[in-house]
Amino acid sequence: MQYETVIGLEVHVQLHTRSKMFCGCPADYQAAEPNTRTCPVCLGLPGALPVINRRAVEYTVLTGLALNCRIPEFTKFDRKNYPYPDLMKGYQISQYDLPLALDGFLEIDGDTQLGLGRRRIGVERVHLEEDVAKLQHFPGEGYSLVDVNRSGVPLMEVVSKPDMRSAEEARQYLTLLHSIVQYLGVSTGNMQDGNFRCDANVSIRPVGSQILGTRTEVKNMNSFRAVYQALEYEVVRQREVIEDGGAVVQETRGWIEEREVTVSQRSKEYAHDYRYFPEPDLPPLRIGPERVAELAAELPEFAPQRSARFQADLALSGYDADLLAGSRSMANYFETTLTLAATAKEVANWMLGDLARLLNQDHREIDASPVTPQRLADLLALVADGTLSTSLAKTVLEEMYATGGEPADIVREQGLGQISDTGAIEAAVAEAIAANPKAVADYISGKDTAARFLMGQVMRLTKGQAQPELALRLVQEGLELQKTRGSLEP
């Protein structure tokens, strides 16, 4: 029996706003001491009232537009009621039946292994809500701790249609969604930090069936890789259950990273009745078509389009173009450097090679690079005009990265300019020839490669600064002179 996998994803994206969703507390809680980013509103103290964060609404509309959604003119917030110690008010302000965006899609390449090509994965809706506090448990100790800093941080939820047919397609969808929210700048989208959380709904059914099988909800996947592995595992598990004659239980299952399995957490048929009703403390919002048009005009060129443009206009390879277009900051850095009169291939090589290496060592993003586009362009100019050899330039780059200095200054201070003064090199050539009689003899007896060896010696003597082509030529001239002399000697 052949089974088809059906996957839907719910992604919660923490929005990168300055303040929380319904109060003025700073939204950057990651580095703060527990319970230092709070106020009566996000603490849920009696009498405190919510006020909508405009930027969060704009970010959500932008995301909806980027996902090809319809932005309804009328939208509102609702209360989702349930008790839990991390939910300060005993209800979460969310959106139920009139979300900010509806009926969108993302185009993925498709799982070619399944014979599926490029197609649309439906986005059911995008809505806005507030995050809950963070609990820290101490099993066996008899207490848990509540850190309210995260309570009230804006959370955007993107719900897909169950259109994905494999873990691979889920990976493609997630990667693209991640790239989009990053590109928009609405979120840093960091799964490890908890700003990009993914829950999956998985079921299987016989190929050709139109009826959905019983689904399980899979949670606790904290990386893209975990999502992939968890989905692969769950599909196999469900198939085995059915083939053993059983039925899949509708439940929530948690992914256990260390054991690489999903484990039942609670029965989903106990679905909470959230008693949704419109939030009486907040007026509904009217987002007119004019405002939507304004926001649509703010949409940037996204990664796939940017990469395609790099390939078409700048003749970059697909691989390089994808990497450079991969993040908005990378792509911007690249394009800025290009405007400072550098060539695409050069910049690409340096950015993806040495600069990337330095940044990765430090776990730094390109935004935090001490080597600015201007400085990189200046460095490349020095290579282009012959002042620096490529290998010397690499040294200078390291210094620029370490000190944040200008390439011209570093070259001057360290006397690193390429020596193209013939006289200076000739002195080194003479020294090299005098110190390496065997090499000279080899050359005279016909071993041309000895010239290269001597050139290497000249480079060493000039601390790598001799212009390589010139050094080689002078070495060859010097050796020829030796040859002639030798033949003249008795």
Partner 1 sequence: MDCAITLNAIAGYDSRDSTSLNLPSTDFTAGLTGDIKGVRIGIPREYFVEGMEPGVRSAVETAIKELEGLGASVEPVSLPTTEYALACYYIIAPSECSANLARYDGVKFGYSYQDTPDMWKAMETTRQLGFGPEVKRRIMLGTYALSAGYYDAYYLKAQQVRTLIRQDFDRVFEQVDALVTPTSPVVAFPLGEKMADPLQMYLIDVCTLPINIAGLPAMSVPCGFSEGLPVGMQLIGPHLSEERLLNMAYAYEQATEWHKARPGI
First to last CA, the chain: 94
Work out which of 52, 98, 116, 241 binds partner 1, going by CB under 8 A.
52
Query: What's the min distance (Å) between Cβ of 295 and partner 1?
Result: 22
Q: How far is the CB of 19 from partner 1 (least distance, A)?
A: 13
> Cα(472)–Cα(458) distance, rounded to whole angstroms?
9
**Could you tell me the smallest distance in angstroms from the CB atom of residue 196 to partner 1?**
29
Rounded Cα gap, residues 17 and 28, in angstroms: 8
Q: What is the DSSP string of 122-151?
A: EEEEEEEEE---EEEE-TTTS-EEEEGGGT
Closest approach of Cβ 45 to partner 1, in Å?
7
**What's the distance, CA 371 to chain centroid?**
20
DSSP state for residue 303 in the 8-state scheme:
H
Q: Minimum CB separation from partner 1 for residue 253, in Å?
A: 23
Assess contact for 60 and 12: CB atoms under 8 A.
no
Contacting partner 1 (CB under 8 A), which of 18, 30, 36, 51?
51
Applying the rule CB under 8 A, the residues between 92 and 151 that interact with partner 1 are 142, 146
> Whole-number minimum distance, CB 309 to partner 1, in Å?
44
Taking the complex as a whole, how short is the minimal distance between the CB of residue 125 and partner 1, in angstroms? 20
Site for partner 1 in 391-430 (CB under 8 A): none
- Beta-strand relationship, 251-256 and 216-221: parallel
Angle at 321 between CA 316 and CA 322, to 5 degrees: 155
Residue 35 or 395: which CB sits closer to partner 1?
A: 35
> Whose Cβ is closer to partner 1: residue 185's or residue 283's?
283
Query: Can you tell me which of 3, 68, 81, 476 binds partner 1, judged by CB under 8 A?
Result: 81
Q: Which C-beta is closer to partner 1: that of 83 or that of 208?
A: 83
Q: 81 or 372: whose CB is closer to partner 1?
A: 81
Spell out, one character per residue from 266 to 295, where the chain touches partner 1: x when CB under 8 A holds, - when not: -------x-xxx--xxxx------------
159 binds partner 1 (CB under 8 A): no
CB of 215 to partner 1, least distance (A): 20
Q: How many residues lie near partner 1 (CB under 8 A)?
A: 27
Among 20, 89, 125, 375, binds partner 1 (CB under 8 A): 89
Specify the residue, 269 or 489, whose C-beta has the smaller distance to partner 1.
269
* Whether the Cβ atoms of residue 253 and residue 241 lie closer than 8 Å to each other: no
Closest to partner 1 by CB, 81 vs 222, is: 81
Which of left, alpha, beta for 115 (phi over 0: left; psi -120 to 50: alpha)?
A: left
Asked if 299 is part of the footprint of partner 1 (rule: CB under 8 A), the reply reads no
- Site for partner 1 (CB under 8 A): which residue of 8, 50, 99, 478? 50
C-alpha span between 136 and 113 (Å, rounded): 42
The smaller minimum CB distance to partner 1, of residues 282 and 408, is found at: 282
One residue of 16, 79, 125, 127 binding partner 1 per CB under 8 A: 79
Q: How far is the CB of 144 from partner 1 (least distance, A)?
A: 8
Distance CA 161, CA 374 (A): 45
Question: Which of 18, 30, 85, 391 is close enough to bind partner 1 by CB under 8 A?
Answer: 85
* Cβ atoms 370, 381 nearer than 8 A: no
44 binds partner 1 (CB under 8 A): yes
CB of 233 to partner 1, least distance (A): 32
Which two structure tokens, joined as six digits, stand for 315? Answer: 């003749």
Phi, psi of 460 (to 5 degrees): -65, -45
Q: How far apart are CA 322 and CA 306, in angstroms?
A: 8
Closest contact distance (angstroms) between CB of 321 and partner 1 is 47
Half-sphere exposure of 357 (CA within 13 A, CB side): 7
Query: By C-beta, is 154 or 373 nearer to partner 1?
Result: 154
| Exposure on the CB side of residue 480, measured as CA atoms within 13 A | 6
Rg over CA atoms, the chain: 31
Percentage helix, strand, coil, to 5, in the chain?
45, 20, 35
Rounded CA separation 20/14 (Å):
10
Closest CA to 354 of 318, 397, 311: 397
CA–CA gap between residue 194 and residue 11 (Å, rounded): 11
Question: Which residues of this protein are in contact with partner 1, per CB under 8 A?
Answer: 41, 43-46, 49-52, 79, 81, 83, 85, 88-91, 142, 146, 273, 275-277, 280-283
